[in-house]
Amino acid sequence: MIAASPTQLLILAVVGLFAGWVNTVAGAGSLLLLPALVWSGLPDDAANATNRLGILAQTTAAVLGYRRAGIPVGRAEATLTVPAAIGAALGAWWASSIEAADVRTAVLIAMGVALVLTLVPMRVSTPPMPLPRATPGTVLALFAIGLYGGFLQAGVGLLVLLYLARAHRVSLVTANVLKSALVLALSIIALSVFAVRGETIDPLRGGVLACSSALGAVGGARATLRIGERLVRIFMMLATAATMLALLLDGR
């Protein structure tokens, strides 16, 4: 295990708290978690795997938070999660099969795409619609999202929200419940694949992120429909651009 200083762990905890809130409200919190893990001394591939511990904790907290608020994960959400879960298994296997340098390239590309996605308004037209049926088109789209989520995770929440809002006019609350359930399933599968494949998962850094991210997610579940989402998106644009620059300038 690569040692981490108390300062690094403290910064990871602060980043995890904010990322958990952001991931639950709008997605793309991993765009902060991944660079933070790399900054703390982990190689890119190990950071990609360790990041899933924080995502697992925060999505579990988000799902429980929605349940306490009277919006549980139902049969429709469970059904739509299945194709994404299958895609996640393939994506995680792919991520564990390539070199760390290739993972870094993928992180940079994902950040660039997510930076563009944060500019796209996620308001849905009225009246909002319920979750779509598991048609071939929906299954294929969620499989592709799961494939990406298993491979990298960063920005997958934004993809889910944008797909449901744009293609099916699903309300933000309904879409967020499915997003949380879907990402929870992706995290469990990806962690299992990484463990079987012998990928490095740092328990100390992952544990810090898990605790802080879960706390942030509890607050995010309560704040899903608040006006602050626009401010979060602006901050995420700035943070994403800054971390892209940091990775590009990092000579490691």
Q: For residues 175 and 24, is the Cβ–Cβ distance under 8 A? A: no
Among the residue ranges 32-36, 192-196, 206-210, 233-237, the one predicted with the least confidence is: 233-237
Q: Is pLDDT larger for residue 66 or for residue 56?
A: 56
In sequence order, what are the residues at sequence separation of 6 or more whose Cβ sits closer than 8 angstroms to the Cβ of residue 75? none
Mean pLDDT across 88-92: 93
Q: For residues 17 and 216, is the Cβ–Cβ distance under 8 A? A: yes
For residue 252, the model assigns a pLDDT of 46
For residue 139, the model assigns a pLDDT of 93
Helix pair angle (172-196, 156-168), 10° resolution: 140
For 114-160, the pLDDT digits (tens) are: 667 666 665 555 566 778 888 899 999 999 999 988 988 777 877 78
For residue 175, the model assigns a pLDDT of 80
How many Cβ atoms are within 10 Å of 5's Cβ, its own excluded?
A: 10
In this model, does residue 209 exceed pLDDT 60?
Answer: yes
Average pLDDT, the chain: 78
All structural domains of the chain with their residue ranges: 6-249
Helix pair angle (30-39, 44-68), 10° resolution: 140
